[in-house]
Amino acid sequence: MTQLRSGPPLLTASDYRHNAAHLVEPDVWDFIEGGAEDERTLAANERAFDRVRLRPRVLAGVSDADTGVSLFGTRHATPIGIAPTAYHRLIDPEGEVATARGASAAGALFVVAMFASRTIEDIAAAVPQPQGLWLQVYWLQRRDVMRSLVRRAERAGYGAVMLTVDVPRMGRRWRDMRNGFTIGGDVAAVNIDPAVMAAAHVRDEGESAIARHTADTFDPTLTWADLAWLRAQTGLPLVLKGILTAEDAALAADHGADAIVVSNHGGRQLDGAVATLDALTEVTDAVGDRMPVLFDGGVRRGTDALAALALGARMVLTGRPPLWGLAAGGADGVAGVLRAATGELAHAMVLAGRPTLAALDRSAVRLSSLTGADA
Ligand SMILES: Cc1cc2nc3c(=O)[nH]c(=O)nc-3n(C[C@H](O)[C@H](O)[C@H](O)COP(=O)(O)O)c2cc1C
Ligand SMILES: CCCCCCC(=O)C(=O)O
């Protein structure tokens, strides 16, 4: 729990959010909070959890819950990890180094973004177990830049590489466009050749500089066949983030992905895309035992995590809440927000009569409510 110098303790993700809102520059807050276009998918992600009802079992003799989970040979104390989010130094001077310390203190996976504002090596040096870090990458036109990042992550001891596949171009984010959002000050994507990054720092009225940057540097011609190239660059497990359909989940398995993340990028890409919770069961059904399925989008409470885990996710990731924690209290705030959610999950598992994550299956949730409007 994060105790501020004054004011009540922060107990929930929502407490952290309200606290952080006053501490972050307005244009950065819009960048964090915002989604694509009318933000319908952003809203749908959270709303989907309101339709879940849990099915507790009683007299199960459960006095405590074990939230531990293993993935790619690494044990994590919690199945609630940190999704990749760019530029943490917009929020805290220590940036991703503080986030990594917080994640490590909470025993959580931290997926470091390609557009991190601290080096891959500094982030690894901040934690006792760098295999609890993964590196996220986008597919750039400059494959040499991708190759060098992946190799650096491997040398620094990272546990996996995550390729984000839902950004052939950036979603239109009205908030960022109205703000002329630009990465400013001394914040930069320090792991990438500055020549590749120049456009992200040029402000233009009515434009998002990061959208312009992605249009200039990402490779939208990517197809499933290209994955073999990335596979060949590293011995690390390869995770694909941004899958929403059974068809693509099956293709990911066919093309040798080691895991996938059901994600709509936190509602920041295709507005109107399906809420991730509503996509989860079609994906887990399609994948079966072929590889682990992870999940992100709208997870704000331990019971949200419980629902996604019960519907087949091996792990859930959260994007915005750790940023709220970082703003509210640096590394302690990141650890605080993760511990809060993990504590809620453990509490709910006891009350639901499920002592381990393995004991969580579809019988723990009422599936019928997932298809009703507001059942
Ligand atoms: C401020 C911000 C920056 C993000 N940056 C990245 C990124 O660099 N790479 C990526 O794959 N996803 C990025 N995402 C998407 C997250 O990884 C994740 O999919 C999303 O935040 C999950 O939804 P949630 O915020 O509701 O938990 C970003 C999201 C936010 C809010
Ligand atoms: C020029 C940097 C692009 C950062 C992309 C971050 C991201 O994925 C997001 O959703 O925002």
ipTM above 0.85, yes or no: yes
Indicate whether 4 belongs to any domain.
Answer: no
Indicate whether 183 belongs to any domain.
Answer: yes
Indicate whether 166 belongs to any domain.
Answer: yes
CA of 153 from ligand 2 middle (Å) equals: 19
Q: Ligand 2 within 6 A of 200 CB?
A: yes
- Nearest ligand to the CA of 136 is 1
Q: What ligand 2 atom has the least distance to the C-alpha of 268?
A: 10
Consecutive 10-residue averages of pLDDT for the chain (375 residues): 72 98 97 98 97 97 98 98 98 98 98 98 98 98 97 98 98 97 94 85 87 93 97 97 98 97 99 98 98 98 98 98 98 98 98 98 81 45
- Domain count of the fold of the chain: 1
Round to whole Å and give the CA distance between 181 and 86.
Answer: 14
Indicate whether 303 belongs to any domain.
Answer: yes
Candidate from 265, 316, 323 with most ligand 1 atoms within 8 A of CB, to mutate: 265
- Nearest ligand to the CA of 114 is 1
The closest of 269, 295, 272, 54 to 169, measured between CA atoms, is 269
> What residue ranges in the chain does DSSP mark as E strands?
69-71, 74-76, 80-82, 110-112, 133-137, 160-164, 238-243, 259-262, 293-296, 315-318
pLDDT given for residue 201 in this prediction: 80
Q: Ligand 1 within 6 A of 267 CB?
A: no
Indicate whether 367 belongs to any domain.
Answer: no
Q: Ligand 2 within 6 A of 210 CB?
A: yes
CA of 56 from ligand 1 middle (Å) equals: 32
CA-closest residue to ligand 2 atom 10: 268
Q: Ligand 1 within 6 A of 95 CB?
A: no
pLDDT given for residue 196 in this prediction: 84
Indicate whether 363 belongs to any domain.
Answer: no
pLDDT given for residue 295 in this prediction: 99
pLDDT given for residue 373 in this prediction: 45
pTM greater than the 0.90 cutoff? yes
CATH no. for residue 119? 3.20.20.70
Domain around 157: 13-356
CA of 134 from ligand 1 middle (Å) equals: 14
Enter the DSSP assignment of 53.
Answer: -
Indicate whether 154 belongs to any domain.
Answer: yes
Indicate whether 375 belongs to any domain.
Answer: no
pLDDT given for residue 156 in this prediction: 98
By the 8 A CB rule, do 24 and 91 touch? yes
Round to whole Å and give the CA distance between 151 and 142.
Answer: 15
